[in-house]
Amino acid sequence: MVRRSRWASRLDAPDLEHVLGSMQERRYAGGACIAGAGQPVEHWMALIDGFAKMSVASEGGRVSTLTGVSAGVWFGEGSLIKHEARRYDVFALRPARVALMPRRTFEWLRETSIAFNHYLQELLNARLSLFIGALEHERLLDTDARVAHCLASLFNPELYPDAPRHLQVGQTEVALLANVSRQRVNVALQRLQALGLIRIERRGLTVLDLAGLDGFQASLGAEVVARDARAPRHA
Domain co-membership, 109 together with 179: no
Amino acid 105: pLDDT: 97
Q: Do 171 and 95 share a domain, yes or no?
A: no
Residue 147, domain member (yes or no): yes
Last residue of a domain, one of 102, 130, 158: 130
pLDDT score for 221:
42
CA dihedral 204, 205, 210, 212 (to 10 degrees): -140
- Residue 198 sits in a domain of what CATH number? 1.10.10.10
CA distance 96 to 25: 10
Alpha helices by DSSP H, listed for the chain, are 13-22, 77-82, 103-112, 114-140, 143-153, 171-178, 182-194, 210-230
pLDDT of the residue at 220: 47
111 plus 22 within the same structural domain:
yes
What proportions of the chain, in percent to the nearest 5, are helix, strand and coil? 45, 25, 30
Whole-angstrom distance, CA of residue 166 vs CA of residue 176 = 19
Domain assignment present for 135:
no
> Which amino acid appears at position 12 of this protein?
D
Residue-level pLDDT at 224: 41
125 and 95 together in one domain: yes
Q: Which of 62, 96, 130 lies at the terminal end of a domain, its last residue?
A: 130
Per-residue confidence (pLDDT) for residue 135, from 0 to 100: 66
Considering only the C-alpha atoms of the chain, give the largest distance between any 2 of them, rounded to a whole number of Å.
67
Q: What is the CATH number of the domain that holds 115?
A: 2.60.120.10
Q: What residues in the chain have per-residue pLDDT under 50?
A: 218, 220-229, 235
Residue 164 belongs to some domain of the structure: yes
Range of the domain at 119: 8-130
Asked if 22 and 121 sit in the same domain, the reply is yes
- Please check whether residues 56 and 155 belong to one and the same domain: no
Residues 16 and 123 in one domain: yes
- For residue 121, the model assigns a pLDDT of 92
Same domain membership, residue 151 and residue 71: no
Q: Which residues contact 157 (CB under 8 A, 6 or more apart)?
A: none
Closest CA to 63 of 37, 100, 30: 37
| Same domain flag for 221 and 147 | yes
The answer to the question of residue 1 being in a domain is no
Q: Are residues 147 and 74 in the same domain?
A: no
Does one domain contain both 171 and 62? no
Are residue 156 and residue 191 in the same domain, yes or no? yes
Write down the pLDDT at residue 134. Answer: 66
Q: Is residue 68 part of a domain?
A: yes
* Sequence-ordered list of residues with C-beta below 8 angstroms from that of 186, at least 6 positions apart, any chain: 171
**Can you give the pLDDT at residue 138?**
65
Total of domains in the chain = 2
pLDDT reported for residue 22: 96
Q: Give me the torsion for CA of 218, 224, 230, 233, rounded to 10°.
A: -130
For the full predicted model, state whether its pTM sits above 0.85.
no
Query: 44: closest CA among 17, 24, 14, 30?
Result: 24
Q: In this structure, is residue 206 part of a structural domain?
A: yes
Give the whole-angstrom CA distance, residue 212 versus residue 232.
32
What pLDDT is attached to residue 158? Answer: 75
pLDDT of residue 223: 47
Domain boundary among 110, 130, 150: 130
| pLDDT at residue number 137 | 62
